[in-house]
Structure 1
Amino acid sequence: MRTRTKICCIASIDEAQLAIAAGADALGLLPGAQAAAIAAWAPPPVSTFLMTAERTAALIAEQIATVYPTTIQINEPLPSSELAGLARTAPQVRRVQVVHAEHADAIARLAACAPHVQAFLLDMGTLQDWPLAARLVRASSRPVFLAGGLDDRTLIGALRQVRPYGIELCSRVRTDGQLDVLKLAMLMAAVREADAALYAEG
């Protein structure tokens, strides 16, 4: 299976173009003036993930109505009732719930949210505990994006052990806050090489 790649914190159409040219499958957008413009510009089949820290379905729906992303990435833990409400309010937008690997209730969160989302983003933070990540991915009934601690040195080991549906890249492809074309190219090449190696291994 090919590893899908999401490039996070895209701040302009220029950055979006660089990410897509490098092979990104999805763009992560922060709420703000540029998000709607980037979401409107992004060509299919590239997905646009609007990241939100809001904690109610009503407030998230307001953000969706302003930006029109294909996907909403919910960074805060929402009760199942709010996730279900968001599914009713904005059924056309896919929902991705962030789960933090270091939290003791991570597996319970995966189970509780699964009926109301299309995927999860597993945030490893500063951990590089790939066996833990693998256990959480196996526990999920939904596809999982892996985020945190991924660079061209750790990537193939992480993908070999965890086998996520996709990955999120952010700080490791930036220099002084700006998307770095060389870093991006190196990491995207590492993803392709890892996929080829894992495919050959069977």
Structure 2
Amino acid sequence: MTLVKICGLMQLSDAPAVNQAQPDFAGFIFVPGKRRQISLAQATQLRHALQPQIKTAGVFVDAPLAEMLIPLQQGIISVIQLHGHESESTVQALQAAGAQVIQVQRQATPIQADFVLYDAAQPGSGKTFDWQQLPQQPSRPFFLAGGLNLTNVKKALTQVQPAGVDISSGVETAGLKDPAKIAAFVQAVRQFDSEVQHHAKN
């Protein structure tokens, strides 16, 4: 089953739509200066409002290890998504602390994270990642992000076959999370998986 991550939750009012749609992950942006950045207090409120089976991920860029461990140890997040140039030792330290780690692929060197992330150069911009840049045989299960939306996600799933898809701006209207778009996107991925399983049985 394809994993679905709805990233960039900003308001407590986002939680009911996410609970209704039932993605696998919800993401919080902890990167200073980003439009969707939220505080630790806001993330705590969102975590409490989200159903427990929905895993929460914290997005960081070159943050100190101690800073990333705070929400992890407080149970606010269980997944850490790295968008900077974090070292292998940082990834290992986060994993040793109990985190699942998703790390953006920036160069050809092998990544030790649990998942690789392929994203556009400006995450959250809605710009599409060039699927032709994907390696023929990725070293790790990977998430695809960058410009995904309801109109292209099935094509992406068919052509790229990622372990997961990560979306933010593609489920927004006027810069805010749109409950109808969240529901439709998750449903589209689940329907695709169901169709693939059906064809495999026949």
* Corresponding position: 1:192 with 2:200: no
- State the Cα deviation string for residues 99-143 of structure 1 (Å, max 9, x = none): 25xxxx2x31xx1x32xx22222213434432433x26x322x32
Give the Å deviation of 1:69.
0.9
Gaps of 5+ in 1: none
- In the other structure, the counterpart of 1:122 is 118
Counting helix residues as a fraction of each chain, which structure ranks higher?
1
- In the other structure, the counterpart of 2:175 is 177
Matches within 5 A, 1:83-122: 83-88=91-96, 91-100=97-106, 105=107, 107-108=108-109, 111=110, 113-114=111-112, 117-122=113-118
Distance across 2 between alignment mates of 1:184 and 1:41: 17
State the aligned residue count: 186
Distance across 2 between alignment mates of 1:161 and 1:72: 27
| C-alpha contact 2:17 2:183 (8 A) present in aligned 1 | no
- In the other structure, the counterpart of 1:158 is 156
Give me the TM-score of the superposition, normalised by structure 1.
0.80
Q: SS state of the match for residue 157, structure 1? A: helix
- State the Cα deviation string for residues 71-112 of structure 1 (Å, max 9, x = none): 111121211122223334xx2222221225xxxx2x31xx1x
| C-alpha contact 2:118 2:129 (8 A) present in aligned 1 | no
Give me the TM-score of the superposition, normalised by structure 2.
0.80
Distance across 1 between alignment mates of 2:173 and 2:49: 25
| C-alpha contact 1:49 1:73 (8 A) present in aligned 2 | yes
Distance across 2 between alignment mates of 1:192 and 1:56: 36
Distance across 2 between alignment mates of 1:146 and 1:13: 26
Gaps of 5+ in 2: 31-38, 122-126
Distance across 2 between alignment mates of 1:187 and 1:68: 25
- In the other structure, the counterpart of 1:50 is 58
Which amino acid in structure 2 is aligned with residue 124 of structure 1? Answer: A
Which amino acid in structure 2 is aligned with residue 121 of structure 1? Answer: L
Distance across 1 between alignment mates of 2:92 and 2:24: 26
- In the other structure, the counterpart of 1:60 is 68
Distance across 2 between alignment mates of 1:85 and 1:53: 16
| C-alpha contact 1:49 1:70 (8 A) present in aligned 2 | yes
Q: SS state of the match for residue 10, structure 1? A: coil
Give the Å deviation of 1:58.
2.9
Across the aligned residues of Structure 1 and Structure 2, the Cα RMSD in angstroms comes to 2.2
- The more displaced of 121-130 and 17-26 is 121-130
- In the other structure, the counterpart of 1:40 is 48
Distance across 1 between alignment mates of 2:50 and 2:28: 11
- State the Cα deviation string for residues 52-75 of structure 1 (Å, max 9, x = none): 123432332245346631111112
What is the aligned-residue identity percentage?
A: 27
